[in-house]
Amino acid sequence: MDSHPQVLQRREFLRNTTIGSMGLIGVCNTWSNTKLLVSDEDETKESAGWELGCFTRPFAEFSYIETLDGIAAAGFSSVGLMAVKLSSGSVTLADATESQVDEIREEAARRKLSVAVTYYSGPPVEQSLAAGIDATRKLIDNCHRAGCASIVLGGTANEALFDSYYDAVRSVCDYAAQQRVSLVLKPHGGLNATGPQCAEIIKRVDHASFRMWYDAGNIYYYSDGNLDPLDDVGTVKGIVTGMCVKDFTPPKEVALNPGTGKVDFAELMKRLIAGGFRSGPLIVETLAKGDLSATIANATQSRIFLQSLL
């Protein structure tokens, strides 16, 4: 199937979704003390255009089914993809077969989750520019098939590949737009570690389908804690369309719940909103480590924290 799965409105999701209806019998037995806190005010906040979700990364040791059940149980409306453990093996959306893409889409839809984004280290231009373009077009096709709205690129730290990497990105922007898939860059160290570096790259590619997702935890992480995101975020006004939500504690820790580390998310959101980011995906990338029940509890806490910011 080439059509997108129907994306249900958040209001319908919050009214109709309960732990019992998700088929989480096994999970809920270990999660009985965690409550979903949903209110009319929460509905209003997300209906204003904010999309709250969680990446598969904190659930990396669990199956895709367990991951989706956990993300849905935590009250999120969407999932962000990294590697996922399917019945047929561990895959990313970049290397998945059509049947695996269908499984990724259908299992998310069964839990009333939209597929918000997939992470991609980027076009494999170390092989050749043509290979990089072809691989990225395949990923765009898989995103279209999965109903995945965005591809977040990690960029390259290799100066010798810099030009080819972003030439490949530019070459697929029109095709991505036709397939209704957005390409976005995140701060990820190397040559795109800061807001100014990301802004310059976006200016270089110069296409409306290529924008930025902010990642405050990475701003701290790749500067060894020396660059406060509050001092960086003013450099990305007008180009941010989403956020990988990640916190940080010294010396190099990001496996913690948002709001428990150094990132001042309340002030960060104020500055992002003032800079033009007034709606879009906020997808939690990292959480404190734990077993499945603890990870679900951490995800729930993080969802409630994000709602409090909005």
Q: pLDDT tens digits, residue range 156-181?
A: 999 999 999 999 999 999 999 999 99
Higher pLDDT, 285 or 17: 285
* List of residues 6+ apart from 138 with CB closer than 8 A: 94
Max CA pair span of the chain: 53
The pTM assigned to this predicted structure is 0.85
Cα–Cα distance measured from residue 175 to residue 177, given in angstroms and rounded to the nearest whole number:
5
Q: What is the DSSP letter of 254?
A: -
The C-alpha torsion from 68 through 82 and 171 to 185, rounded to 10°, is: 100
**Residue-level pLDDT at 231:** 98
Cα–Cα distance measured from residue 156 to residue 158, given in angstroms and rounded to the nearest whole number:
5
**Sign of CA pseudo-dihedral 241, 62, 5, 37:** negative
Q: Is 36 helix (H, G, I), strand (E, B) or coil?
A: coil
Cα–Cα distance measured from residue 55 to residue 117, given in angstroms and rounded to the nearest whole number:
8
pLDDT band for position 48 (50/70/90)?
Answer: confident
- Checking if the pLDDT of 17 tops 90, the result is no
Higher pLDDT, 18 or 109: 109
